[in-house]
């Protein structure tokens, strides 16, 4: 039977998601889609910040009291990845920085004011990967009131796992889109690439650039909707764990890579690097595109 | 962890850490892999009748995205006894078994190729099977075409088999007239060639994202020597001695030289995404041939994936057929058409069978399965008519184990 395209839209991790699969039959496609969605739901229920019954919530209850907690292999490898990002970003990519969101309410940009410096300094005491001790089986915190957030990693990780699940089930043409974090399983059956639009951060419904991908992944960081303006200065929603301030140089970064988790963390690190982000991306060597808060655009994906 | 390192290559450091995440390192190259399958199964009938140990191995060789090959080999070792014929004793059929004389090995090999393009899928399969009393050469061609925006699939197939069958006797004990000929010899007066042509037309219709229905119509024509050279019938008017029994009153199984058969299969498959991708299969098959056998088969199976790549599939099957027009457990008078058979497979009977298969997948590479099936045949289970006898009631079980490995 020739292959046909099946689409499975769903919502997970707070984002609209879609799986598109080429399969010989509805039963083949449904089995693969179900396995992928099942795995995504597993990761969401394990690492959600919002669910009190998640393992992350359990970690954060331990973090609040500076207690030690036992962890499984998957969590340990995510911590290892987070640590690598922390090291490679000179401490800017920090999964303990989520607590800073308490200072900045991005949903109320009209009434946004800069928090007072003492308040920022107080909250910064609870931030810092260097206050976290972990091994392959346990995690401990040397300060109270800390919080971890795998938000910048798990969705991308889920997209990569989705592709592996498809391969294991002998499906090789398709694409997974988890709220804009994209992992290509394989090209269209005729070998042609998927054409993926990069959203213009300044115009919600405009496409900045169409990227053709036969394999690999694309992830973006920053978006126009969550940019805020304070005293005429534009800020993105990404928070610098060293200053406690949102970054205010790049509005959006898109990176392509073999792995979605790599594209995702590279784009986030570039955002955090602010005015050095463009140079960092060039050094890194992955295809990328950046847009600054004042509308300048660059990166090697622009010229393709 | 306060030490901040700066690696020469941020990309390789990040890539290594990303690849260390569980389930991330896999590539599309894994998707169409070379794989090997091995299967062992043991079929054993009740009352120490027939036992068959089957060993099967096959290799799947994807050559390109569109072309793949499969090589398949089977060895069956058959031992035990089977009914030869029946005679009346106090008004009931009494069975004569072959004695524990069956010891046969069947070797079969077939090679198939399949090609897929935008029009559809085309396949060809060529093979040969040989035993000490049966040879068969066969080929099949099949094709599948999608239309109606790929919601409908049409399947067309044709198969041909050319067989040669005979009977082997062993001396001793059957040495009548076989002076100086020890060991195996070919029985005279029975056996011959037969040909089988089979055509298939099938249609599969998607109903929605979770279910489809399928209908297949198969027509077969068989011509040539269609009798069983080992089977005899009780025919009291026969005066010459039956070979091997040195006794009169028996004759060889004698069936018509041709047979037309049709079979119609309807199938419904539904997946239940809210039940961990469980799948329901419902089959009904109707069969009829020009020997006047009609049969109904109902089959139901439920595939349930459980946790950790385990899955369990319980199955149930009911079968009922009526007797061939010329079948009798034994004969008391001559038939005008000259056809006689007491083969229990042509009798009126019904059967129920059930089983369960358990499968476990390891690391997406290796899968191991075990299955057990029980079958009970009973004269009284038939909802169809015709002659039959409780003497042929029996049960069998099949135990099987299979291993699949993808490279």
Please give the Cα distance from B121 to B64 (Å, whole number). Answer: 14
A180 and A35 co-located in one domain: yes
Chain B hits for A85, Cβ within 8 Å:
14, 17
For residue A38, which residues of chain B lie inside 8 Å, CB to CB? 276-277
Do A164 and A192 sit in the same domain of this protein? yes
Return the closest-CA partner of residue B352 out of B302, B316, B392, B389. B316
Same domain, A284 and A187: yes
* pLDDT, mean of residues B172-179: 60
Of B49, B55, B54, B53, whose CA–CA distance to B102 is shortest?
B49
Hey, what domains does chain B have and what are their CATH numbers? 34-406 (2.40.160)
CATH of the domain at A274: 3.10.520.10
Q: Are A163 and A17 members of one domain?
A: yes
Peptide bond preceding B173 in cis form (omega within 30 of 0): yes
Region of poorest pLDDT, from A227-236, B89-98, B119-128: A227-236
What range defines the domain where residue A271 resides? Answer: 4-46+155-298
Joined tokens for residue A158: 């889920």
Give the pLDDT of residue B1.
39
Model pLDDT, residue A128: 93
Residue B173 has what pLDDT?
63
Put simply, the answer to whether A84 touches B13 (Cβ < 8 Å) is: yes
Minimal-distance CA residue of chain B relative to A285: B11
Q: At A47, give phi and psi (nearest 5°).
A: -120, 15
pLDDT tens per residue across span B262-272: 999 999 999 88
Is residue B2 very low, low, confident or very high in pLDDT (cuts 50, 70, 90)? Answer: very low
Under an 8 A CB cutoff, do B23 and A285 touch?
Answer: no
Residues A41 and A60 both lie in one domain: no
Out of A1, A129, A172, closest to residue B146 by CB: A1
**pLDDT per position as a tens digit, B341-392:** 999 999 999 999 999 999 988 876 788 999 999 999 999 999 988 888 889 9
- In the predicted structure, residue B244 carries a pLDDT above the cut 70: no
Decide if A150 is inside a domain: no
Provide the 10 A C-beta neighbour count for residue B154: 15
- Say if residue B134's pLDDT is above 70: yes
**Mutant choice from A7, A20, A30 vs B, greatest count of B C-beta within 10 A:** A30
pTM here?
A: 0.60
Minimal CA separation from B206 to chain A, in Å: 7
Q: Which of A106, A141, A176 marks a domain boundary?
A: A141
What confidence category does residue B5 fall into, taking pLDDT thresholds of 50, 70 and 90?
very low
A14 and A77 both lie in a single domain: no
Domain end among A118, A141, A164: A141
Which of the four pLDDT bands, split at 50, 70 and 90, describes residue B146?
confident
- What is the tally of structural domains in chain A? 2
Size of interface A-B (CB pairs under 8 A): 140
pLDDT of amino acid B277: 74
**pLDDT confidence of residue A131:** 92
Q: What is the pLDDT of residues A138-184, one digit of tens each?
A: 999 998 899 999 988 999 999 999 999 999 888 989 999 999 999 99
Q: Which of A121, A129, A150 is nearest to A49 (CA)?
A: A150
pLDDT band at B177 (very low <50, low <70, confident <90, very high): low
Which residue from B2, B20, B209 is facing A26, i.e. has the nearest CB?
B209
pLDDT tens-place string over residues A90-133: 999 999 998 888 887 666 655 567 788 888 898 899 999 999 99
Domain assignment present for A201: yes
With 0-12 CB in 10 A as exposed, 13-18 as middle and 19+ as buried, what is A88?
buried
Confidence (pLDDT) at B327: 96
**Spans in chain A with pLDDT lower than 70:** 1, 105-112, 223-230, 304
Domain check: are A18 and A60 in the same one? Answer: no
Query: How confident is the model at residue B6, as a pLDDT?
Result: 43
**Chain A residues closer than 8 Å to B146 by CB:** 1-2, 4
**In sequence order, which residues have a C-beta less than 8 Å from that of residue B248 and are 6 or more positions away?**
B238, B239, B240, B241, B242
């Amino acid at each position: 039977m020739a292959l046909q395209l099946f689409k499975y839209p769903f919502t997970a991790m707070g984002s609209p998601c879609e799986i598109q699969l080429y399969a010989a039959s509805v039963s083949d496609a449904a089995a693969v889609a179900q396995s992928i969605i099942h795995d995504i739901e597993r990761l969401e229920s394990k690492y959600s910040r919002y669910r009190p019954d998640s393992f992350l919530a359990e970690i954060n209850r331990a973090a609040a009291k500076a207690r030690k907690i036992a962890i499984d292999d998957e969590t340990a490898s995510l911590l290892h990845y987070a640590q690598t990002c922390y090291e490679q970003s000179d401490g800017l990519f920090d999964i303990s920085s989520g607590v800073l969101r308490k200072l900045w309410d991005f949903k109320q940009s009209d009434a946004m004011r800069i928090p007072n410096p003492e308040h920022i300094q107080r909250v910064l005491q609870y931030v810092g990967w260097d206050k976290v001790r972990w091994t392959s089986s346990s995690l401990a915190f040397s300060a109270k009131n800390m919080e971890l957030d795998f938000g910048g990693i798990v969705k991308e990780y889920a997209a990569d796992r989705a592709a592996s699940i498809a391969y294991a089930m002998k499906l090789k043409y398709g694409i997974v889109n988890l709220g804009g974090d994209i992992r290509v399983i394989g090209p269209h059956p005729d070998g042609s690439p998927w054409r993926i639009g990069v959203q213009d951060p300044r115009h919600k419904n405009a496409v900045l650039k169409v990227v053709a991908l036969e394999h690999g992944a694309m992830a973006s960081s920053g978006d126009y909707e969550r940019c805020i303006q304070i005293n005429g200065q534009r800020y993105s929603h990404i928070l610098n764990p060293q200053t406690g301030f949102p970054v205010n140089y790049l509005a959006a970064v898109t990176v392509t890579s073999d792995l979605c988790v790599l594209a995702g963390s590279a784009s986030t690190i570039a955002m955090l690097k602010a005015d050095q982000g463009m140079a960092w991306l060039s050094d890194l060597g992955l295809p990328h595109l950046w847009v600054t808060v004042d509308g300048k655009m660059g990166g090697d994906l622009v010229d393709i | 962890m306060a030490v901040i390192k700066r690696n020469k290559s941020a990309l390789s450091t990040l890539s290594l850490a990303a690849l260390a995440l569980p389930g991330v390192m896999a590539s599309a190259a894994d998707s169409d892999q070379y794989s090997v399958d091995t299967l062992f199964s043991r079929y054993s009938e009740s009352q120490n009748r027939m036992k068959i140990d089957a060993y099967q191995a096959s290799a799947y060789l994807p050559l390109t995205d569109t072309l793949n090959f499969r090589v398949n080999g089977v060895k069956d070792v058959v031992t035990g006894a089977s009914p030869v014929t029946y005679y009346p004793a106090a008004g009931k059929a009494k069975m004569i078994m072959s004695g524990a004389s069956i010891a046969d090995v069947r070797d079969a090999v077939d090679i198939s190729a399949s090609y897929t393009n935008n029009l559809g899928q085309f396949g060809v399969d060529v093979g040969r099977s040989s035993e000490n009393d049966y040879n068969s050469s066969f080929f099949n061609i099949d094709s599948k075409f999608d239309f109606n925006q790929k919601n409908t699939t049409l399947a067309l197939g044709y198969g041909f088999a050319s067989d040669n069958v005979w009977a082997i006797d062993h001396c001793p004990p059957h040495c009548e007239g076989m002076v100086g000929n020890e060991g195996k010899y070919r029985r005279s007066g029975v056996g011959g060639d037969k040909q089988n042509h089979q055509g298939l037309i099938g249609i599969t219709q998607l109903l929605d994202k979770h279910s489809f229905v399928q209908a297949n119509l198969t027509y077969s024509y068989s011509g040539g020597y269609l009798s069983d050279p080992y089977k005899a019938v009780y025919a009291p008017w026969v005066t010459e001695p039956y070979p091997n029994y040195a006794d009169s009153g028996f004759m060889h199984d004698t069936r018509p030289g041709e047979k037309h058969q049709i079979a119609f299969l309807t199938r419904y498959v539904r997946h239940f995404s809210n039940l961990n991708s469980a799948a329901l299969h419902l089959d009904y098959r109707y069969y009829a041939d020009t020997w006047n056998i009609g049969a109904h088969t109902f089959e139901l199976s439920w595939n349930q994936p459980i946790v950790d790549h385990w899955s369990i599939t319980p199955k149930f099957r009911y079968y009922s057929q009526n007797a061939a027009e010329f079948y009798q457990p034994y004969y008391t008078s001559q038939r005008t058409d000259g056809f006689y058979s007491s083969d229990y497979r042509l009798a009126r009977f019904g059967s129920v069978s059930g089983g369960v298969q358990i499968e476990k997948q390891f690391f997406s590479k290796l899968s191991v399965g075990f299955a057990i099936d029980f079958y009970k045949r009973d004269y009284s289970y038939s909802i169809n008519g015709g002659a039959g006898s409780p003497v042929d009631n029996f049960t069998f079980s099949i135990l099987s184990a299979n291993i699949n490995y993808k490279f």
